[in-house]
Structure 1
Amino acid sequence: MPDQRVRDFAAIRCASARRCGVGQVLLADAERRIALSGHDEAWLTVVLSNDPARGFYERHGWRRDGPATIEIEHGSRPDVLYLWRFAKSVTCLTPVLGGRAVAPVLRSGP
């Protein structure tokens, strides 16, 4: 059974690419790949103060799943990073036409 956690996905956006649909395409592709790999839920984290990212994920069907923290080493002392955890159910359906499977379609649930 595959691990239901998907980790280490990050999208880096440059200022000139904002509001051009690049993030939407990358996110949809990541969701599709997660579903195709056998996972039925994806999750990610966003820094609490990153309102633009929070809004982006919420607009694309992700739900806030609660707070999270991670401890990172910063020189000689650890720092705590406060985050929102977001989750989304993903299911990959493979439609069949005339007895032949066609390209998978991602269906996302609440």
Structure 2
Amino acid sequence: MRIRNAEPHELDRLASLWHSGWQDAHARILPAGLARHRTLHSFRQRLQEHIADVRVAGEPGAPLGFAMLAPDELYQLYVHADARGSGVAAELIADAETQLARRGTATAWLACAIGNERAARFYEKHGWQRVGTMVSRLPTPDGEFPLEVWRYEKVLRR
């Protein structure tokens, strides 16, 4: 499967994919105070702000999943429910690692919601190591929302 840069015309589909994935993975384990801010509109807005850092699996206009990168972080990784177990997530994480290494990142990191066991198993299967917890300061319209998360790291370059 080809992993490619996101295209602006895909924002609505990507936002819908992210919103559904977030609801599936996080709505039951994260505080309601955060969940009320995780609307379809908020996901679209965040994608639009970071479109240059979004990599997509699937044909243009029909994304199966995406990864969003920050300078040294795998910031988001979501796969459409119908594509789970198909290898899409493995290809996205491998591409994200390659992209981060090309940027010069020696050790990449990601935050995983405490209790998201499915994601934790996936990251560990792909060589990421849980190094502890940290407080992630998540932006919301009401200001930052502090959330304790698991921190994972992976050495990309020695």
Q: TM-score over 0.5 for the alignment?
A: yes
The count of aligned residue pairs is 88
Tell me the C-alpha RMSD between the 2 structures.
Answer: 2.2
Q: Report the counterpart of residue 93 of structure 2 in structure 1.
A: 27
TM-score by length of 2: 0.49
Distance 2:95 2:144 in 1: 35
Q: Report the counterpart of residue 68 of structure 1 in structure 2.
A: 134
The structure showing larger relative contact order (alpha-carbon pairs under 8 Å, at least 6 residues apart) is 1
2:122 counterpart letter in structure 1: F
Unaligned runs of 5+ in 2: 1-70
Deviates more, 1:63-72 or 1:52-61: 63-72
- Rg comparison, structure with higher value: 1
Name segments (4+ residues, structure 1) moved above 2 Å: 70-80
Distance 1:84 1:35 in 2: 22
Distance 1:41 1:30 in 2: 13
2:76 counterpart letter in structure 1: A
Note the alpha carbon deviations across 1:57-94, whole angstroms, 9 max, x for none. 00000000110112446676864322000000012xxx
Q: Report the counterpart of residue 154 of structure 2 in structure 1.
A: 88
Q: Report the counterpart of residue 57 of structure 1 in structure 2.
A: 123
TM-score by length of 1: 0.69
